[in-house]
Amino acid sequence: MLKLTQDNVTIEIRNRQDLDEETLDAEVVPATDAQRRDLGTAAVGHAWMAWSPMDTTPQLIKFMPPETVNQDERRKLLLSYRNALRVADRHEVTSLALPLPQQAGLPLLQERLVAELALVLLDTCRRRRHLRRLQLIASGNQEAVLYANWLVEVQNDRPPSLERSFKSLLS
Q: What is the pLDDT of residues 50-84, one digit of tens each?
A: 876 666 778 999 999 999 888 778 899 999 999 99
Q: Find out whether the peptide bond into 53 is cis, omega within 30 degrees of 0.
A: no
The DSSP line for 66-120 is: -SS--TTTHHHHHHHHHHHHHHHHHTT-SEEEEE-TTTTTPPPPPHHHHHHHHHH
Nearest to 88 by CA among 118, 62, 65: 62
Q: Which residue has the higher pLDDT, 95 or 128?
A: 95
Structural domains of the chain in order of their starting residue, each with its CATH number: 2-170 (3.40.220.10)
> In one letter, which amino acid is 111?
E
Q: Which residues of 117-133 are buried (b: 16+ CB within 10 A; e: fewer)?
A: bbbbbbbbbeebeebeb
Global confidence as pTM: 0.85
* pLDDT of 126 over the 50 cut: yes
Question: Where is pLDDT greater, at 5 or 157?
Answer: 5
